[in-house]
A and B are shown apart, each in its own frame.
Chain A
Amino acid sequence: MKKITKDHISNTIVNIVIIVMAFGMLYPVLWLISASFKVPNTIFRDAGLIPEAFTLQNYTNGWKGIGIVGFDTFFRNSFIISLFCIIANLVFCSLTAYAFARLEFSGRKIWFGIMMLTLMLPGHVTTIPRYILFRSFGWLDSILPIVVPKFFATDAFFIFLLVQFIRSLPRELDEAALIDGCGKFGIYGKIILPMTVPALITTLLFTFLWTWDDFFNQLLYLNSPQKYTVPMGLRLFLDASGVSSWGSMFAMSVLSLVPCFILFVSLQKYFVRGIATTGIKG
């Protein structure tokens, strides 16, 4: 009885410490959200989290964007790019991962090793030649240089993640399906893919986050404001803004974080498991 009480007290203390620290960590984000509802000239006088006067003005002003291009355009562009990247990664990374994890063929180990090496390759080495290549295709100022590489399973991280996951699945099901006359493609589509859903969801989530937040490629390849994405729009705002438009800037920043947040909260279960899988056997 006495021991339970002692545990109880120590758990309460741990709970409090965790909550206080979480608050400290999340304070910048909370402040950002609160600032987006503050009257612009009070934003920087006020470190508190509850606005003295609540306004939606920042959101309506921000949504209009800059000049002729509204933030709706930036959001639409970002969503289109993310959607293509997600579909491409889900299909082509899982296809590649299935081959590496399940198929026996000559040279498998070597190719797998090479694939793992590309995981560590800094993107800078390929950036300039790819730019020159895509320029010669006439792809500059379009989403093609960002989207098309994903159709060739260039994200080794996801192949690795999916290989790890598929290897942990029981082989008996594949063998049973093989006996039932299922081909390799059938096994991939009917047996492996359905069982790989948790890892696929992790892939989806990470692809979305990284594409949504990717700034470097968008900066490199998108030149006209009509093609800009959310990060580019925010940056445009930052350059153009005087002190007065910080409110709109913060409001749009908050909006830009909302999709990431919603997706994370709804898929959180898979998310944590997905990252963990990569790590343990890494």
Chain B
Amino acid sequence: MERSLSKKFRNNVTSYAFLIPWLLGFFVLTVYPMVYSLYLSFTEYNILQPPKWVGLRNYFVMFGGNKLYQGDERFLNSLFVTLKFVFISVPLKLVFALVIAMVMNRKLKLMPLYRALYYIPTLLGGSVAIAVLWRRLFAGDGIFNLILKNIFSVSNPPSWISDPRYALSTLIILAVWQFGSPMIIFLAGLQQIPKEYYEASAVDGAGKTWQLFSITLPCLSPIIMFNFIMQMISAFQSFTQAFVVSGGSGGPLDSTMFYSLYLYIKGFGFSEMGYASAMAWVLLIVIAALTALSFRFSGRLVSYGSGE
């Protein structure tokens, strides 16, 4: 008894020795910053003077204010722009990823090459270089319009980047273009579906559409869910593309003012670190709520195998 207890103790000591770097990082670089950022969110802090306690003021200001404080319309706008971006770009990206994964699931000689080609936009898409390119492609005199005019005879195409009605859609196109990671995950999922399912249903006379809805999609549902949540979380945090394409302004007329970009401008441009911390906490709550909601909703739609 005594011996086994001390063995267990020694086991724990060696195991935690392996975890020391991660644990240190977790407490110093995650837990402490989280607590401190929660505290800052109730203060006014410009980094030069010590933080000044203002209670819930930052939160009141964000959501329309009250009699004492004016609301922050730019904040609400940035939240709205980001929600719009997330809920248009993520589903589009997933549909794209799934359709192409199904095509890529065929047995063709050149398939490894094709998969690599289709991954290239994702490989390069997060870079400043591509964001710069995008800014030129969708400029009024850019290549996209040149193609619209010359090939599709559109006589008066809009100047995408500088038109508040269309600027966000160029960023959505850029995001959807990078469908590579969910595509590969879908592909791995498709390859796990037993061939017998399809053979059996074909014997029963099922058509391709029927197979898609009764075999492929149900079998993939956990993976669709996984992809949706991961893509949603990262879309909420998009920064580089909006920053570069709008030249750091979120313009025109704040139409590409992503949440992250506004947080950066508030915190590091205007040195309103307390306000920016409050914004970070609102983002955390929004993401946590939407994730929880998707888990809840998916409970009814996602099937994790037959369970025999």
Contacts and interface: CB of A to CB of B under 8 A. Distances in A.
Contact of B116 (A108, A249, A268, A282): A268
Nearest to A151: B21
Interface string B272-308: 0100110111011001100100000000000000000
Contacts of B14: 103, 184
A118 B128 contact: no
A178 B253 CA distance: 65
Contacts, number: 253
Main DSSP-derived SS at the A contact region: helix
A149 interface: yes
Given A216-B240, A280-B188, A152 B22 contact: yes
A105 to B, nearest CB: 4
A234 B32 contact: no
Given A92-B22, A216-B239, A264-B123, A275 B29 contact: no
B86 to A, nearest CB: 12
Dominant secondary structure at the B interface: helix
Chain B: interface size category: 35 or more
Contacts of B181: 275
B237 A124 contact: yes
B280 A122 contact: yes
A238 B287 contact: no
B49 interface: no
A27 to B, nearest CB: 9
A141 interface: no
A133 B25 CA distance: 13
Interface of A: 11, 14-15, 17-18, 22, 25-26, 28-29, 31-32, 44, 47, 92, 95-96, 98-99, 103-106, 108, 111, 114-115, 118, 120-133, 135, 149, 151-154, 159, 184, 188, 209-210, 212-213, 215-216, 219-220, 230-231, 234-235, 238-239, 246, 249-250, 252-254, 256-257, 260-261, 264-265, 268, 272, 275-280, 282
14 contacts: A17-B103, A22-B118, A26-B117, A29-B120, A29-B130, A105-B11, A120-B291, A122-B283, A127-B267, A130-B33, A151-B25, A216-B240, A253-B132, A279-B223
Interface of B: 8, 11-12, 14-16, 18-19, 21-22, 24-26, 28-30, 32-34, 36-37, 40, 47, 103, 106, 108, 110, 112, 114-121, 123-124, 126-130, 132-137, 141-143, 146-147, 150, 177, 181, 184-189, 192, 222-223, 226-227, 229, 233, 236-237, 239-240, 243-244, 247, 260, 263-264, 267-268, 273, 276-277, 279-281, 283-284, 287-288, 291
